[in-house]
């Protein structure tokens, strides 16, 4: 189950109806799995970027079922989640 509420996903992807809602939730689950496999970690400090990345990937999967490359803006979100330490962790290291 995705950490992003169904209604929020449907609004972001601009879809309605039970069938499309189910599809968007499945795509969001796939997006969340993709982020986890890519080494992205969900924490309270990354929550907003993480949920935005899930929504952006779900929309991309919906719009490009043939598997087009991930858009640069979405890739930037993923890179931020992978490589940028949250401020609280950076302060604790010093």
Write out the residue range of the structural domain in which residue 16 sits.
6-85
Low-confidence ranges of the chain (pLDDT < 70): 1, 86-94
H-helix or E-strand spanning residue 23: helix 18-37
Question: For residue 35, is it within any domain?
Answer: yes
Q: Is residue 90 part of a domain?
A: no
Q: Given this model, what pLDDT does residue 58 score?
A: 97
In a domain, 1, yes or no: no
Domain count, the chain: 1
- Residue 1 near residue 31, CB atoms below 8 Å: no
Q: What is the pTM of this model?
A: 0.87
pLDDT of residue 2: 72
Q: 92 burial class (0-12, 13-18, 19+ CB within 10 angstroms)?
A: exposed
What pLDDT shows up at residue 85? 75
The verdict on residue 20 lying in a domain is yes
């Amino acid at each position: 189950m995705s950490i992003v509420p169904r209604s929020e996903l449907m609004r972001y992807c601009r879809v309605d109806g039970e069938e499309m809602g189910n599809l968007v939730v499945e795509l969001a689950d796939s997006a969340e799995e993709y982020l986890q496999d890519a080494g992205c970690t969900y924490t309270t400090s990354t929550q907003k970027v993480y949920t935005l990345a899930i929504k952006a990937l779900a929309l991309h999967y919906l719009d490009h079922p043939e598997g087009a490359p991930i858009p640069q803006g979405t890739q930037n979100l993923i890179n931020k989640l992978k490589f940028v330490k949250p401020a609280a962790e950076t302060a604790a290291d010093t």
